[in-house]
Amino acid sequence: MHRTSITQARELLQQKKLSSVQLTEAVFARIDQVEEQVQAFVHLTREKAMQQAREADARIAAGDEAPLLGIPIALKDLICTEGSRTTCASKILDQFVPPYNSTVVEKLIQAGAVIVGKTNMDEFAMGSSNENSHHHPTKNPWALDRVPGGSSGGSSAAVAAHECVASLGSDTGGSIRQPASFCGVTGLKPTYGRVSRFGLVAFASSLDQIGPLTKTVADSATLMNVIGGKDPRDSTSANVALPDFTQALQKDVQGMKLGIPKEYFTGGIDPKVEKAVQEGIRTLESLGMKTVEVSLPHLDYAVATYYIIACAEASTNLSRYDGVRYGYRTEKSDNLVNMYENTREEGFGEEVKRRIILGTFVLSSGYYDAYYLKAQKVRTLIKQDFDNAFEQCDVIASPVTPYPAFKLGEKLSDPLQMYLADIYTISANLAGIPGMSIPCGFAEGLPVGLQLMAKHFDEASLITTGHKFQQNTDFHTKEVPL
Ligand code: GLN
């Protein structure tokens, strides 16, 4: 029962062949069975979830047809949940209990979702492996000696291991798509501004977006219908009409143009990953899409540009953790300044400190023009690359990552190697466009993702393309060996 998708569960629930209490119990039984191995969660909200399940059953009995009624969903632990801990996998927020819900959580609750718990992540979403979590590393359910990816590694592992029906993650530089690819699930990063960031703990505010991790593209359409839309509490949320994304599932891809960026297939990519991605592209061709070669010439600058801008924004966003307003405070201080210093020294992990230092440096007078300002100019060039490419095609296809899930510990001592692996995902964040990862094959038993990208606010084309792909392939239905 725990293996169900949103679409399947919804049908069974509405036909009263299954109750939300039964489904939620099945999901928690699965958690009891596999969580010790996977460690996808930071904490579970079991009692509250059972309560929500009972309420959902009452609503179903009364004829309510809300889109997520009774469906167990997990949340990355940087999405604020009123009355339950939101730690960002950091010591500095370890005991932080938000007094309010994020907008996405309010929308989920309104839509009837059952909240299973909060999932593990890299501290403040900085990382690609979940090894930067203050709590514990999450394991990849396909191979327990491998990372699930990051930073939404807990959210993707929980979906792959069926410890929830779907989850939400966040993507600043690939953090939904890369773990989706590593764990063999579907991950969608919406257009910047499509989903409210109110109540999302900020990492890099001009890049962060919340999005769904699901078992199918159809499920991501359902979740996007619920979480998308303008929010008066987030001034960067866009006032753009929210289409019914489930309608995009009915459309055909016949005649749609698929752009293949030539720069994304040169060197550095594992041949087995490239083969799976190329076969994925051929499948889309066989379904009626026309491929055209496109060029995204500034790809080589994307990693440097991203790490300058993301660190700069992080250094300002994280200045609020001062031992006064939120969370952890040092016990070793005799004046205000060393209270700040010791709180931050003790409360932040290595990677977070590295980024605060980098970000402070690139914003400092004398270096601002050479680094931050220049990075902003390159960001504009990267966005223009996509504008030009989308004059020739509707959707762009590429790899998500250069290689499949790596071993725990393998890249921990080399942050640069870890950063370079973000090469294919971060351009979409810099340009603000939507991107999706769908399972397209395996490399030595580990899942490989195919990335699809589209124009601003055209998630519908990703959903149409991804759904057509899943109707004609079975990679997304393969089971983890747990
Ligand atoms: N690997 C990226 C980083 O470490 C992912 C960030 C993200 O999308 N949250 O910054």
Whether the pLDDT of residue 267 is over 80: the answer is no
Q: What is the residue-averaged pLDDT of the chain?
A: 97
Give residue-wise pLDDT tens across range 41-71.
999 999 999 999 999 999 999 999 999 999 9
Whether this prediction's pTM lies above 0.95 is answered by: yes
Same domain for 304 and 399: no
- Does residue 167 lie within any of the structural domains? yes
In the reported structure, the alpha carbon of residue 93 is separated from the centroid of ligand 1 by a whole-number distance in angstroms of 19
| pLDDT, average across residues 70-84 | 97
In the reported structure, the alpha carbon of residue 33 is separated from the centroid of ligand 1 by a whole-number distance in angstroms of 30
Same domain for 455 and 316: no
The angle subtended at Cα 207 by Cα 203 and Cα 210, nearest 5°, is: 80
Task: Catalytic residue, from 167, 175, 398, 437: name it.
Answer: 175
Q: How many CB atoms lie within 10 A of CB 376?
A: 15
Same domain for 320 and 456: no
Same domain for 230 and 166: yes
Q: Is 259 helix (H, G, I), strand (E, B) or coil?
A: strand
Spatial CA neighbour of 447 closest among 401, 412, 395, 396: 401
Quote the pLDDT of residue 255.
94
* Ligand 1 atom with minimal separation from the 128 CA: 1
The mean-pLDDT minimum among 27-31, 100-104, 418-422, 428-432 falls in: 418-422
Q: pLDDT band for position 209 (50/70/90)?
A: very high
Quote the pLDDT of residue 390.
98
Q: pLDDT band for position 124 (50/70/90)?
A: very high
What residue numbers bound the domain in which 171 lies?
A: 6-258+395-477
Same domain for 311 and 254: no
Same domain for 149 and 29: yes
Number of domains observed in the structure of the chain: 2
Is the separation of the CB atoms in 69 and 23 below 8 Å?
no
Number of H helices, E strands in the chain: 15, 11
Quote the pLDDT of residue 265.
93
Task: Catalytic residue, from 151, 170, 220, 437: name it.
Answer: 151
Quote the pLDDT of residue 325.
87
Cross-sheet strand order for the sheet of 395-399: 41-44, 114-119, 72-76, 166-171, 209-214, 186-189, 435-443, 446-454, 395-399, 257-261, 290-294
Per-residue burial over 171-207, b if 16 or more Cβ lie within 10 Å, else e, is: bbbbbbbbbbbbbbbbbbbbbbbbbbbbbbbbbbebb
* Ligand 1 atom with minimal separation from the 306 CA: 10
Same domain for 421 and 372: no
Percent composition of the chain: helix, strand, coil (DSSP 3-state, to 5): 45, 15, 40
Distance, CA of 265 to chain centre: 24
Whether the pLDDT of residue 167 is over 90: the answer is yes
Whether the pLDDT of residue 266 is over 90: the answer is no
Same domain for 429 and 333: no
Whether the pLDDT of residue 326 is over 90: the answer is no
Question: Which phi and psi angles does 175 have, rounded to 5°?
Answer: -70, -5
Domain containing 234 — which CATH number? Answer: 3.90.1300.10
Is the separation of the CB atoms in 292 and 308 below 8 Å?
no
For a pLDDT cut of 90, what percent of the chain falls above it?
97
Which residues form ligand 1's pocket by a CB distance below 6 Å? 125-128, 151, 171-175, 203, 310, 422
Q: Is 145 exposed, middle or buried (0-12, 13-18, 19+ CB in 10 A)?
A: exposed
Task: From 318, 341, 376, give the residue that closes a domain.
Answer: 376
